[in-house]
A and B are shown apart, each in its own frame.
Chain A
Amino acid sequence: MSWEPKIIAFLCNWCSYAGADLAGVSRLRYPPSIRVVRVPCSSRVSPAMILDALKSGADGVLVSGCHPGDCHYLTGNLYARRRFYLLKKLLEFVGLDPERVQFAWVSASEGDVFAKVVTEVTDRIKALGPNTKFRKVLRVEGKS
């Protein structure tokens, strides 16, 4: 059996979650790699949540929100965009595989886009292999 990555997907309630729903009702195929966490807005997702997902064993993280201009809260996604830009640059800087953390805009009508994004993200993380760098492993033996 081939290894399937585990990807935590933080989807905004108003667009991307509905987009994922549409992909489902449209019977679009995409890899069963994501575990969805519904959030009120992409700007609800803090860097600590993304890193905590990786630490707890996720192989990748996808954060998806409304397109600019479509945010239910008008500008939440625009604040989020700045934050994610900086986070991505910081993770790249310390050599954490940048492909493991991905950001997307998916609207409620873009079921096809959602399926393609998940497929693409899954392929890229598959190419990287399991997350070993940032996964917490319990050690029982004490460090002298």
Chain B
Amino acid sequence: MYYILKREDLRPWLEAINREYTLFVPRTRDGFGPYEGELYLEGKTRLSAKEFFLPWREPLLVYEARPGALPKVVEGPVEKRVVFGVRPCDARGVILIEKVFSPDPFWQKRREATSLIGLVCEEPGTECFCWAMGVNPFSGEGLDLVLVPHEEVYLVKVITEAGKKLLSLSRAEEGGEEAFLSREKEFKAKFPVSPALEKLREKDLMTIYEAPFWEELALPCLNCGACTFLCPTCYCFDVQDEVVGSEGVRVRLPEACMFELYSRHASGHNPRRSPMARFRNRFMHKFKYFLDEYGEPLCVGCGRCNEECPANINLWDIVRAMSEV
């Protein structure tokens, strides 16, 4: 179902949502926060919307550090919340992570409690390439509603019942299907899926793994966690015990495969000791292991890594090398 929302009706709608739910919006270029009036719609945020599902710190258990005490499982958040302004690439990221995380109860609770309102970009950002990774921003995948800025209005596509309910709080009127579909068609014609993906599917895993280009491409890499922490699809995590006095909390937090500590075994042995091996793993995971396992690359083309990589590593240099080896 398609609707039209006037641009001046956006704020009143957000206010209305905020009265009934906890509303999060992109507040600045940095990222999302509770709606307090600030609204950043010029482009995608630096930190992606994945933090609503894989938060920076997820308490799993609480315990008393004394003999015989039993740990208690932390009850996850139940408060209904709505996130507005999620870019379709970020929503697609949630779908990809869900392929791995769907059995996780903490993930499930967060998913059930959260509605996502998507916002398609006015135009692609400098480093964006969602289409190349097979993302159709107009599809509404992973979202409850998707908004397309179009002339003086937003074209709205309703994806779920929850989305329809949220939209009923606005002054949106039915219509705009034709404009929406033609925008989608236009986009698809202009921005094709990268042929590299097909090549990667067919390539032998070991051929890529043992290719000589890794050493050269990895040289400038700092092996920091900037790309993984900003990436809307990187989901690797660490579990840590935080203890103060006799109180303890076991928490889950994002972790980066680029870190030496990530792959270090308890024995001290590290199968990915060299910086190159860790660099290679990140891209092999995204463009070969995940692709082979789930049929899709673990990348949504948001371009955050390319934009923010301190060493100016460019993902396409690597995808190209991997697909053409």
Contact = CB atoms under 8 A, between A and B. Distances in A.
Direct contact of A and B (CB under 8 A): yes
Q: Which of A137, A140, A141, A143 has the most CB of B within 10 A?
A: A140
Interface of B: 24, 51-52, 55-59, 62, 74, 76-77, 81, 242, 244-245, 247-249
A142 B244 contact: no
18 contacts: A56-B244, A57-B244, A136-B244, A138-B242, A138-B244, A138-B247, A138-B248, A138-B249, A139-B57, A139-B249, A140-B62, A140-B249, A141-B77, A142-B55, A142-B58, A142-B74, A142-B77, A143-B56
A143 to B, nearest CB: 6
Nearest to B33: A144
Interface of A is mostly: loop
Interface of A: 56-57, 136-144
Contacts of B242: 136, 138
B57 to A, nearest CB: 6
A57 B248 CA distance: 15
A136 B248 CA distance: 12
A142 B59 contact: yes
B55 A144 contact: yes
B74 A140 contact: yes
Contacts of B56: 143
B93 to A, nearest CB: 17
A75 to B, nearest CB: 36
Contacts of A142: 55, 57-59, 74, 76-77
A136 B242 CA distance: 10
A143 B56 CA distance: 7
B315 to A, nearest CB: 29
Given A144-B51, A144-B52, 20 more contacts: A57-B244, A57-B245, A136-B242, A137-B244, A138-B242, A138-B247, A139-B57, A139-B59, A139-B249, A140-B59, A140-B62, A141-B59, A142-B55, A142-B57, A142-B74, A142-B76, A142-B77, A143-B55, A144-B24, A144-B55
**6 closest A-B pairs (Cβ-Cβ)?**
A142-B55, A142-B58, A138-B249, A138-B244, A140-B59, A138-B247
